[in-house]
Amino acid sequence: MELLTKTEEKVMQILWRIKKGFVKDIIEQLPSPKPPYNTISSVVRILEQKELVGHKAYGKTHEYFPTVSKTAYKKFTLKKMMKNYFDNSLEEMVSFIVAEEKLTKADEQEILKIIEKGKQSKK
């Protein structure tokens, strides 16, 4: 898997949300000004080459669908970010988030609850 461009990511976000659709369906979901049909069609074909999207043919028309789940892509990008920006250190990444986001006590408590819930689900 590889990282997506911003446009590719926008298209994937739409496909993950609508599950499957034609190029026109993807364009309908994009904000105005709408990009040209050929632009989105090209992006979808690139996503197919990257094996993130598949299609079902109806004559000359194709209905596209994601072949990689949003969760799988999230895991991939998070691991890539940890490796490239935080030297594969979860501690470094969390420290950065805490320092940059100016967490409130409520945020800290919520994070601790999430960690505890994660520990319980692994048992």
pLDDT in tens, 6-21: 999 999 999 999 999 9
Helix (H), strand (E) at residue 31: none
pLDDT over 90, % of the chain? 69
Q: Which residues, listed in sequence order, are joined to residue 62 by a DSSP beta bridge?
A: 57
Look at residue 111 in the predicted model and tell me its pLDDT: 85
pLDDT in tens, 104-123: 888 888 888 888 888 887 76
Determine contact, residues 10/46, Cβ cutoff 8 Å.
no
Per-domain boundaries in the chain = 6-66, 89-122
CATH of the domain spanning 6-66, picked from 1.10.540.10, 3.50.50.60, 1.10.620.20, 1.10.10.10: 1.10.10.10
Nearest to 52 by CA among 105, 103, 11, 99: 11
